Amino acid sequence: MTYLIGYGGATAVFILADMIWLGIMVGRFYRPALGDLLSSVANLPPALLFYAAYPIGLVIFAVAPSLKAQSLGLALLYGALFGLFTYGTYDLTNHATLRHWPVSVTLIDMAWGTVLGGLAAVAGTALASRFGG
């Protein structure tokens, strides 16, 4: 039950924060930077799969070890590193393989993934610690 609460907390914060970020940044940054590479509407099935699966990784690699160590600092560190590595995999691969992928998108997206992973892992850890028994 503890890990399920951690998953729920991490998922809620992850989705909410990312929706706010995308709501602000798509028109201001991503669309101008990526142009026609960016779809006008999201493809819902893979998006939903991503938002369901990504927090599982956060629980395994950040929340669970942080609960064991009873450390929100560790949750922040491991969540941030998970975000950096996962968003980095996506962005650096795109940067290496797509002709018009801007370095600014790579850097900003990796920074956002780092912040987002850390926030979501801290939220999942804090809620699991408090309500997980």
**Burial of residue 97, with CB atoms counted within 10 A of its CB: 0-12 exposed, 13-18 middle, 19 or more buried:** exposed
What is the tens place of the pLDDT at every residue in 16-59? 999 999 999 999 999 999 998 888 888 999 999 999 999 999 99
Q: Please give the structure tokens belonging to residue 67.
A: 């609960």
Which DSSP string corresponds to 61-112? IIIHHHHHHT-HHHHHHHHHHHHHHHHHHHHHHHHHH-TT--HHHHHHHHHH
Q: Please give the structure tokens belonging to residue 101.
A: 């992928």
Residue indicated by tokens 């992850």: 14
Q: How far is CA 111 from the centre of its chain?
A: 10
What is the tens place of the pLDDT at every residue in 53-67? 999 999 999 999 999
pLDDT at 132: 82
pLDDT at 40: 86
What is the tens place of the pLDDT at every residue in 79-133? 999 999 999 999 999 999 999 899 999 999 999 999 999 999 999 999 999 998 6
pLDDT at 125: 98
pLDDT at 113: 98
Of 44, 56, 67, nearest in space to 11 by CA: 56
pLDDT at 101: 94
Domain boundaries, the chain: 2-131
